[in-house]
Amino acid sequence: MIMKLPAFRTVFEPFRIHSVEPIKMTTPADRKARLATASYNLFQLRSEDVLIDLLTDSGTGAMSRDQWAAIQRGDESYAGSPSYFVFRDAVRDLFDFEHVIPVHQGRAAERILFSVLGGPGKVVPNNTHFDTTRANVEATGAAAVDLVIAEGRDPASLHPFKGNMDLAALEALLTERGADVPCVFVTITNNSGGGQPVSLENLRGVRELCDRHGKLLFLDACRFAENAWFIREREGGQGERDVVDIVRDIAGLADGMTMSAKKDPMGNIGGWLALDDPDLAQECRNMLVLTEGFPTYGGLAGRDLEAVAQGLSEAVEHDYLRYRIVSTAYLGEALQKIGMPVISPIGGHAVYVDARALLPNIDPLHYPGQALAVALYELGGVRSCEIGTVMFGRRPDGGEVPAAMDLVRLAIPRRTYTQSHFDYVIEVCERLVERAHLLPGYRITQEPKALRHFTAQFEPITR
């Protein structure tokens, strides 16, 4: 007889480890020296001097046995490689667009699409543009506007779909400036807004507005699988559905997509641009050949195309997604318990700490996010990413203003760290909360004109 037992609470990693990478141990004194050499910019560290690297979830995940096997099947023919067709069919199985154009990573898809659709006087709405998306829109002379719902800008709001587009604001924009809008974008999940999902209902609303105003709807779909899992968990009537079907519904509402395969598709590199319109696709392919490569490889090796095709099928497995979302929440909820202010609900790929709330003694123009990120590294060897005044505070005229929020993102590479790595990060954060009032602010001693967060040099402001 089979006894009916309650379900177990522990959601463990749905994989065993097959190949390992050593972590080189360092002490706070070692890291203090490394920080000085790097001018307190965490992008300037050598990654081998990092214990737990939560800088990004982009291209940093572990590939599976089956992806490594697929790599061996990679066919490196210049034109018409079988690996392209494996890739194209894997993309179309989820996102049924006629034209699938491989690129080396997401921003290449953005550059190509906006160089065709953008231009001076145009305006591209999005829930929130990621920084490369915004930069590629603006590089053509067009304006990028963010129209996320008000709850999406409130770190404490518990709205289940904080990535949703503000439909009233989108309608107003389309009514006032319709002729200038070449397409509408929706980013799933909304990375810059805390990895927050967009609901199917909201996407249907955006589609309806696009139909009414005759506009193309594109998805920036990097974290589509995590978004679909949130829809399954949180949206009425979706709880019993296969994530694959939810993804197909999402794709069915759009006219095209840009993709970084370094996120949910589990690649270390790769991306694509996919769309239905044949004329637009032809113009994009013309651009592709200039800088990325022939349309059946677009800047990738055949082996990369195979790895991404296999990764796509793994990204939509329920056991994987349950573990992925639960493990991000595990870290986020533990940080909340120890008094770290974090954006709630916890997002899909990252935990976002509100550094301005944690460090009220540091003026936003002395970069509380940078102060927290540097301290996390020095204390525990944990690398994170400032998303605040360092990243967004510089104005084109050279002036400086505080960003809307000073956040620190702890991004979680896919299938890479285990629960004990997270327990260590939680312990480091606990120690840090105790000494938060002692942390110094920073000043910038040297910076480039654009994207300063990658290379700026800092020094602590000693009190």
- Which stretches of the chain bind ligand F0G, using CB under 6 A? 56, 58, 105-107, 130, 132-133, 187, 191, 220, 222, 260, 262, 271
Query: Taking the complex as a whole, how short is the minimal distance between the CB of residue 258 and ligand F0G, in angstroms?
Result: 7
Nearer to ligand F0G among residue 104 and residue 394 (C-beta)? 104
Nearer to ligand F0G among residue 105 and residue 327 (C-beta)? 105
Nearer to ligand F0G among residue 186 and residue 456 (C-beta)? 186
Reduced to 3 states (helix: H, G, I; strand: E, B; else coil), residue 163 is: coil
Using CA atoms, how far apart are residues 255 and 155, in angstroms rounded to an integer?
32
CA distances from 167 to 175, 187, 427 (A): 12, 14, 42
Nearer to ligand F0G among residue 346 and residue 436 (C-beta)? 346
Query: Taking the complex as a whole, how short is the minimal distance between the CB of residue 262 and ligand F0G, in angstroms?
Result: 5
Using CA atoms, how far apart are residues 72 and 82, in angstroms rounded to an integer?
13
Using CA atoms, how far apart are residues 277 and 280, in angstroms rounded to an integer?
5
Instruction: Specify the pairing of strand 271-275 against strand 52-53.
Output: unpaired
Query: Taking the complex as a whole, how short is the minimal distance between the CB of residue 434 and ligand F0G, in angstroms?
Result: 29
Which single residue brings its beta carbon nearest to ligand F0G? 106
Token digits of residue 40: 């307190």
Query: Taking the complex as a whole, how short is the minimal distance between the CB of residue 179 and ligand F0G, in angstroms?
Result: 27
CA distances from 233 to 221, 226, 321, 342 (A): 19, 11, 11, 21
Query: Taking the complex as a whole, how short is the minimal distance between the CB of residue 103 and ligand F0G, in angstroms?
Result: 9
Nearer to ligand F0G among residue 130 and residue 367 (C-beta)? 130
Closest CA to 185 of 230, 239, 232, 145: 145
Nearer to ligand F0G among residue 260 and residue 327 (C-beta)? 260
Query: Taking the complex as a whole, how short is the minimal distance between the CB of residue 102 and ligand F0G, in angstroms?
Result: 12
Helix 419-434 and helix 318-337: axis angle, to 10°? Answer: 20
Q: Are 419 and 327 in contact (CB under 8 A)?
A: yes
Nearer to ligand F0G among residue 260 and residue 328 (C-beta)? 260
Query: Taking the complex as a whole, how short is the minimal distance between the CB of residue 214 and ligand F0G, in angstroms?
Result: 26
Using CA atoms, how far apart are residues 341 and 355, in angstroms rounded to an integer?
8
